[in-house]
Amino acid sequence: MPFRVVDVSTQRQALIQLAQLAQKSILHPLVKESAIQIVRSCQSRDDACELEAIFNAVKYGDPRVKPLKRGFKYIADPRSTDAFTAPYRNLQMCMRGACGGDCDDHAALICALAGAIGFKTGLRAWGPKGEDFEHVYAVVGVSKRNPTRAVGMDTTVDESTVGWEPPPGEVLTAWLP
């Protein structure tokens, strides 16, 4: 598929475009297979274990999962550009040894992997109070059967763990259908 440029006029529209890319990837066989491989050592219906496994596979790698055997490295977009890549395409690139992307690529990948195994997922844009959004990370609804709270899943921050969130600021969340 050729490279496509989409011009969006608002940050909300950009977040929705990214959510649509993640949603399309949820059903892709490479995403589903990778998600199943990542969580295969978890007990059935152990949501916490599954989220931890997905987080760790993206952030640190999982040698059992070929596309993510060394993790998904943070790599910035070209200057003055905000490029979005579908999660399944990022996994395909990982299979060829080019495994990385910026915060929106990490967030979309987390959403696609968690969504592929039944979690309600979303993308959250964050910025300091009174300023524009400058960061995107994944949020996942827990529990899987009846999500009552959103858990942050930001694999681009060194000290982050499952549940970590940036300091209070401006937020905008786009939930995948």
Q: What pLDDT score does 101 carry? A: 95
Helices (H) and strands (E) in the chain, counts: 5, 6
Instruction: Phi first, then psi: give them for residue 31, nearest 5 degrees.
Output: -70, -50
pLDDT tens-digit profile of 35-64?
A: 999 999 999 999 999 999 999 999 999 999
The Cα–Cα gap between 176 and 156 comes to 21
pLDDT tens-digit profile of 130-173?
A: 888 899 999 999 999 999 999 999 999 999 999 999 999 999 99
pTM of the model: 0.93
> What does pLDDT average to over the chain?
92
Structural domains of the chain, ranges and CATH numbers in brackets: 11-76+83-175 (3.10.620)
Q: What pLDDT score does 74 carry? A: 96
Q: What is the DSSP letter of 68?
A: G
pLDDT tens-digit profile of 56-73?
A: 999 999 999 999 999 999
What six digits make up the tokens of 12? 């909300």
